[in-house]
């Protein structure tokens, strides 16, 4: 599981940062890539990575501003053209369905795979045996969502070698032991399943937020996350601008990370007013409050490791 | 007057060629740039040129396929963000108005300059004292247009020095001479205006066609043009594919150029199946029929010179 930033800028593309898109790569977990937002030229950025459009299984849209959605119609068309045949599901706020359907219709684009578009607000956007994606409304002037991706815990595997060493014959009791039950063997021995299970593995949590002012919902979405991706459109000094334009500063993003007790914060959605060396001072502003912070650049990848 | 290719590929962006957009730069003529088509990431391509989005006065769309229009909403938004305040007019086939209005509305994009969208078919798309833009339907399976940009002839300027040398006093007769009339001076001399006019300058003609099969309308639009830009999605051998997909081959583009008696042909909209060295053989196929042919690459510029 890793996160690759395909675009880390705000508002408009610049030479150094494209507009927003983030790829959560779940190749080992489910041979899939989930995109979060899809600004213009996201498919162009993808050309410079190893991501295959046909592997994109889900696209989560945070809000309807152009710098987060204008790359969607092109990517959907190219995914079909490049042999994508499997279901693609798009999650997003009200309006996303009409946007996708209208743009494809008016451009005579016939995609060959099933496309599902689900408009979400607060609650659970998606859940299966492996992942649950919770969603909450943030504060951005227009409806804007944050997503909390929760990998489900995996129980420890049954240590078969250990059972064989004790001459426990394979059979239905293996299943009972695996579920952690205590069983009585025919020879009278009693075995506790817990003693024969490898370590239980906690699922990872990745929280990816849309554009927002500093707000309580962000803390809720990010609670104990392994990785929090939070916007920082402005530097610490520009907190009035951040408030006026419904954005956050570096320090505000760091405060959320601290309060939510996350392991790592990556700030992104950097305004083009900050160039080159400014990045370092932006990053330092955040690190003063939350030390384990990075500032994202296009094409940077962050691994999210399982806990030992 | 020059033409800069911002995207020369077909269907999907590739590393080497972006999807279609062509800038007709009229900086000396009217301090303006006219775009023809606006595929995704056209605004990104513009970042690597000297083109200022606020100088874009008109955008002519040939057809509604995504590789020709998906860059429009982003460019329109950025033009506003970057201080564009003057009227922008978009010309295009049926559907272009709904596409632009819907995408801007659904993305909460409020542009600060007046935007006019005119759906055109056959006839005159635009005319003022300087230029006339004629439009005709081509053959592409979906409604698709070709544009013929005609610069109006400029009459020769009055050679004032020559008149002064003959002691002809300035006054209303200068105006009459300028219009080519014969006038009688008070001292009895007769002067023919034609003798005092510099060379009359013929306007230039640039023809930019959308995707199309080889067709008669292309010849009509390109007749005697200084520059014809014609698609060549396929090589000579793939004429059946070209027909099936409503496109043209290199040779067909060259035939149109020959028949229309143009001065120069530039072929573009090259399928990504052709890579690197293929370009040379594609170009040679066209040159066998029409020698003054070039094959466009992204960011190449073609000057259109006035005739001497
Ligand atoms: Zn944004
Ligand atoms: Zn095309």
Q: What's the complex ipTM?
A: 0.91
Examine the residue annotation and report whether B37 is marked as an active-site residue of this protein: no
| Share of chain A residues as helix, strand and coil, in percent rounded to the nearest 5 | 30, 30, 40
**Known binder of ligand: residue A140?**
yes
Contacts of A14 in chain B (CB under 8 A): 47
CA of A232 vs chain B CAs: smallest distance (Å): 20
The rounded mean pLDDT for chain A is 95
CB B195 within 8 A of CB B229: no
B68 is known to lie in a ligand binding site: yes
The mean per-residue pLDDT over the stretch B153-159 comes to 87
Cα(B12) to ligand 2 centroid in Å equals 8
pLDDT average, residue stretch A232-236: 96
How many C-beta atoms surround the C-beta of residue B187 within 10 A?
Answer: 7
Q: Is the pLDDT of residue A308 over 90?
A: no
pTM for the complete prediction?
0.91
Mean pLDDT of all residues in A43-66: 98
CA–chain centroid gap for B74, Å, is: 22
Per-residue model confidence (pLDDT) at position A173: 87
Mean pLDDT (chain B, rounded):
95
- The Cα of B70 is separated from the nearest Cα of chain A by a number of Å equal to 7
Chain A residues in contact with B70 (beta carbon < 8 A): 40, 70, 73-74, 103, 107
Check whether A240 has a pLDDT greater than 70. yes
Q: Beta partners for B227?
A: B206, B264
Residue A185: the pLDDT is: 87
pLDDT tens track for B260-287: 999 999 999 999 899 888 999 999 999 9
- Where does CATH 3.60.15.10 sit in chain A? 2-154+201-303
Q: Which of A131-145, A220-234, B77-91, B169-183 has the lowest mean pLDDT?
A: B169-183
pLDDT band at B308 (very low <50, low <70, confident <90, very high): low
Domain A2-154+201-303 matching CATH 3.40.47.10: the answer reads: no
- What single-letter DSSP state applies at residue A93? S
B47·A13 Cβ contact <8 A:
yes
Best of B71, B74, B109 to disrupt the A interface (most A CBs within 10 Å) is B74
> Tell me: the pLDDT tens digits for B78-118?
999 999 999 999 999 999 999 999 999 999 999 999 999 99
Compute CA distances B171 → A83, B102, B152, B174, B284, whole Å: 75, 58, 28, 6, 59
| Least confidently predicted of A123-137, A181-195, B25-39, B292-306 | A181-195
The verdict on whether residue B239 carries a ligand-binding annotation is no
Q: B250-260 and B278-289 are packed helices; what angle lies between their axes, rounded to 10 degrees?
A: 30
Question: What's the pLDDT band for B157 if we cut at 50, 70, 90?
Answer: confident
Count the alpha carbons within 13 Å of B253 in the hemisphere toward its beta carbon: 39
């Amino acid at each position: 599981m890793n996160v690759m930033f395909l675009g880390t800028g705000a508002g408009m593309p610049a030479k150094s940062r494209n507009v927003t898109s983030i790829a959560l790569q779940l190749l080992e977990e489910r041979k899939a890539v989930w995109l979060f937002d899809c600004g213009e030229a996201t498919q162009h950025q993808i050309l410079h990575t190893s991501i295959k459009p046909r592997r994109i299984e889900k696209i989560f849209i945070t809000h309807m501003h152009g710098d987060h959605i204008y790359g969607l119609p092109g990517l959907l068309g190219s995914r079909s053209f490049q042999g994508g045949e499997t279901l693609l599901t798009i999650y997003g706020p009200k309006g996303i369905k009409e946007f996708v359907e209208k743009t494809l219709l008016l451009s005579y684009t016939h995609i060959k795979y099933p496309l599902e578009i689900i408009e979400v607000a607060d609650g659970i956007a998606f859940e299966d045996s492996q992942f649950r994606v919770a969603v909450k409304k943030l504060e951005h002037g227009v409806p804007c969502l944050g997503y909390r991706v929760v990998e489900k815990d995996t129980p420890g595997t049954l240590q078969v070698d250990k059972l064989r060493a004790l001459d426990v014959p394979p059979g239905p009791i293996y299943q009972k032991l695996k579920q952690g039950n205590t069983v009585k063997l025919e020879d009278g021995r009693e075995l506790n399943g817990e003693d024969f299970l490898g370590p239980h593995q906690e699922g990872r949590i990745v929280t990816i937020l849309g554009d927002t002012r500093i707000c309580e919902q962000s803390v809720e979405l990010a609670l104990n996350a392994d990785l929090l991706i939070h916007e920082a459109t402005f530097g610490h000094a520009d907190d009035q601008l951040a408030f006026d334009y419904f954005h956050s500063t570096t320090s505000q993003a760091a405060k959320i990370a601290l309060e939510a007790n996350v392991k790592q914060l990556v700030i992104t959605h950097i305004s083009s007013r900050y160039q080159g060396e400014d990045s370092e001072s932006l990053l330092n502003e955040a690190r003063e409050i939350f030390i384990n912070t990075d500032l994202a650049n296009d094409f940077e990848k962050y691994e999210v490791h399982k806990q030992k």
